[in-house]
Amino acid sequence: MARGRASSTAAKPHSRAAEKRIGQSAAPADPWAARIRKAVTEEAHPAQLGAILDTSRRISILTGRGGGKTTVYKGRLLIEMAETTRGKFLYVCPTLGMAIELLWDPLKESLAALGIADEFTFMEAPREGGKIMLCKRTGSRLKLFGADDKKQINLCRGQPFNGVLCDEIAYWPSPELVANYVEKVIEPRIGERNGWIGLESSRGHELRGLFYDVTRDGSPDHRPYALRNEPEYAEW
């Protein structure tokens, strides 16, 4: 989002004008952010690129092992953290250990390959729990934690986010926890930053719950990606 004309009067911390600058896209002309977007899009497979750049606010991915979801998640987060001022992003796995293995370490490798590792800080969050990656240039931050940590789940209540990724949902403690986290913890304020929620997993053994409903063919909650432009989904 392009910035408007600057006001001669500084906005108070909690004023509407100050809030508009928080969690919004940075100036699109930033060559640093453009370089990251170009690198990510050139690396991705066409199928991955569709998921990386999809502008839908609700995204679900059902894929087998090795389906390339890590590349999708890294791509979405790197692009948006580079283009968003003081954005807030979450990545939640069944456990913190899985989050580290699936995204934390691959993110470090990608940043090193791009030659921009110094632009990011990786740190522990002893008071909050989990781990935090901070983009120094934009102030955007990504927090990783495990869904088995009830304290971390509750700490998300009442906060607006730009993007929330829920991974390996088939291995979360229960389908009820997934629904509670998405519908009662995250969704109430996700619209304040025009944020999005991504749900992803390989197939599970429990054929019920929110993720099952949004990925099941024939479900009223599922829109197949290949049919997204069909007339029947015009008001989706």
Judged against a pLDDT cut of 50, whether residue 26 lies above it is answered with: yes
Give 107-146 pLDDT, tens digit per residue: 999 999 989 999 999 998 766 678 999 999 999 999 999 9
What's residue 84's pLDDT?
94
Give 34-55 pLDDT, tens digit per residue: 999 999 999 889 889 989 999 8
**The two three-digit tokens of residue 113, written as one number:** 């390959």
The C-alpha atoms of residue 194 and residue 20 are separated, in whole angstroms, by: 12
Judged against a pLDDT cut of 90, whether residue 18 lies above it is answered with: no
Looking at residue 77, its amino acid is L
Q: Is the CA virtual torsion 26, 120, 164, 34 positive or negative? A: positive
Give 190-224 pLDDT, tens digit per residue: 999 999 999 999 888 888 999 999 999 999 999 99
**The two three-digit tokens of residue 2, written as one number:** 């392009």
Give yes or no for a contact between 165 and 193, defined as CB atoms under 8 angstroms apart.
no
Mean pLDDT in the chain?
86
Residue 132: strand pairing partners: 123, 143
What's residue 145's pLDDT?
94
Contacts 24+ apart (CB under 8 A), 221-230: 222/60, 225/50, 225/54, 228/56
Q: What is the pTM of this model?
A: 0.86
Q: Is 129 helix (H, G, I), strand (E, B) or coil?
A: coil
Q: Is 144 helix (H, G, I), strand (E, B) or coil?
A: strand
Residue 54: strand pairing partners: none
The C-alpha atoms of residue 184 and residue 158 are separated, in whole angstroms, by: 10
What's residue 69's pLDDT?
83
Confidence band (pLDDT; 50, 70, 90) for 4? very low
Give yes or no for a contact between 76 and 52, defined as CB atoms under 8 angstroms apart.
yes
Angle at 173 between CA 171 and CA 177, to 5 degrees: 115
Give 138-182 pLDDT, tens digit per residue: 999 999 999 999 999 999 999 999 999 999 999 999 999 999 999
| DSSP run (H or E) holding 132 | strand 131-135
**The two three-digit tokens of residue 120, written as one number:** 């990011």
Which among 183, 196, 229, 171 is positioned nearest to 52, based on CA atoms? 196
Percent of the chain surpassing pLDDT 90: 68
